[in-house]
Amino acid sequence: MKHKVLGLILAGGHSRRLGGGDKALRPLGDASILHQVCTRLQAQLADIIISANSEPAFFSRFAFPVIDDGAWHGSGPLAGILAGCRHAAQHGYSHILSVAADTPFFPEDLLQKLVQKQTDSNAEIIFARSGNEIHPTFALWPAAIANPLESWLQQSKRRSIRIFAAGHSCAYADFDMPDAISGLDPFFNINTYQELAQARSAWQLHQPADFEE
């Protein structure tokens, strides 16, 4: 099989604009933001790991393996991607699908479209794109990119996904439809209290109404 994909949820951010802590554990709907991300991703693939640098016990309720950034702690999402690629290669996966833990409405056909774009283009890295905006943390990565990525981290002080990817072949899968109910971009992410309130409002709009007889 050309694509054996492991899902990687990037949950290693510092959440400074939300007062610190693990923002993905904040409530959204009947659970947490991370729970909603896990549920959406699990509908697309069976095997998932969480990249986080906090106490692993915080994530024990999710029943997925938790990995950390190891020696590259503090190097941003590229460190999580590197750790995810290493884990994937060790367990027989050809690719990882990375998603951000603060983006609970990402497309339900994310994996399908990224894999199709990789098949059509044969590019190394496939990024999601909406409204001409690239979403670097939503991407399909070959597990074999781990060695070049670690070499790049060793040699460069830059910690940008975009800058690293510029040295590799890339293609883009387009997701241009905003949500029909809330009007939010499918890659709307939560960084501030205002955006958290927007996400909660959008979540409520999607819940079925209670009818009284």
Q: Which two tokens stand for residue 119?
A: 């098949």
Is residue 149 included in any domain, yes or no?
yes
The CATH code of the domain that includes 66 is: 3.90.550.10
Cα angle: 46, vertex 48, 54; to 5 degrees: 160
Is residue 11 included in any domain, yes or no?
yes
Q: Could you give the number of structural domains in the chain?
A: 1
Is residue 210 included in any domain, yes or no?
no
Which residue carries 């590259």 as its tokens? 72
Position 20 pLDDT exceeds 60? no
Contact 108, 156 (CB under 8 A): no
Tens-place pLDDT, residues 28-37: 988 899 999 9
Where do the DSSP E strands lie in 108-185?
125-130, 133-142, 170-174
Query: Which residues span the domain enclosing 145?
Result: 5-205
Is residue 213 included in any domain, yes or no?
no
Position 209 pLDDT exceeds 90? no
DSSP string of 49-95, one letter each residue? EEE--S-GGGGGGG-S-EE--GGGTTSTHHHHHHHHHHHHHHTT-SE
Is residue 211 included in any domain, yes or no?
no
pTM (whole model) above 0.85? yes
Is residue 147 included in any domain, yes or no?
yes
